[in-house]
Amino acid sequence: MNNLHTILLSPHHRLLVISACTAKKACSDLDRDSQLTVEDLDNPAKRKAGEKRLANYRLPAAEMYTGDGHKFVRQAVRALRERGYSVSHFILSAGYGLLNEADIIVPYNVTFSGAPKPWIRERGQRLKLQSRLIEVAKGHDEAILILGREYLEAIGLPLQAEALPRTLAYVAPSFTRRLGKGIETITVGETERRAIRAYSSSAKEKRFQIDVHSALRS
């Protein structure tokens, strides 16, 4: 029985799931240069004008992202809810910050993936990701993080386990010691990726989906 199985023993607990945004979005007919930039999002006037210009593309965050990783997480969240679990799903966006699945957003072209570490950390501080995570986690009994290296860097490591509910993170093996004491982990490296036949960009999310279905079956 792995850590996720023990977290899911009680469907009466409030569960928080946090995953990453994806570059692939529900706007295939929209050129990336037409999407909002960091400068647009950080300037209230430009942001308002940009969101008005892209009003026809407005969607809840849960529907905006269409990458495989996001789909795996959404399928797992849906399966949990169908079995009576109380699940809050938040999405970590390099553009908007920590989004509730129901938050309405427009397409933007900003990502942590492949960005320089100094920029990632500065961006995370600007978006107040660590304090936002702590705020969002209040009222939940457990939290599950399914995030890549850059997204964890953006939150700020080590995580403050004492300020969070019981927290389980799906991470690369090299990050287990960096998360901080008190944070439980499920590692997903090359061996695990090959075993579940997943692309590296969505291996953690696919492993989470597989683990959820396995836990529900048992």
**Is the pLDDT score of 1 beyond 70?**
no
3-class SS of residue 42: helix
What was the pLDDT predicted at 5?
Answer: 87
Answer for the pair 79, 113: CB distance below 8 angstroms, yes or no.
no
Residue range 163-173: mean pLDDT, rounded: 96
pLDDT band of residue 62 (cuts 50, 70, 90) is very high
User: Taken in order 186, 4, 202, 100, is the CA torsion positive or negative?
Assistant: negative
pLDDT band of residue 3 (cuts 50, 70, 90) is confident
| Residue carrying structure tokens 């008190």 | 182
List of E strands, the chain: 14-20, 59-60, 86-93, 97-100, 104-105, 142-146, 166-171, 183-187
What was the pLDDT predicted at 78?
Answer: 98
Helix (H) or strand (E) holding 80: helix 68-82
What was the pLDDT predicted at 29?
Answer: 86
What was the pLDDT predicted at 193?
Answer: 95
Q: Where are the domains of the chain?
A: 3-217
Whole-number Cα distances in Å, 173 to 24, 149, 158, 187, 195? 26, 10, 15, 5, 15
| CA dist., res. 192 & res. 208, Å (int) | 12
Asked if residue 116 has a cis previous peptide bond (ω within 30° of 0), the answer is no
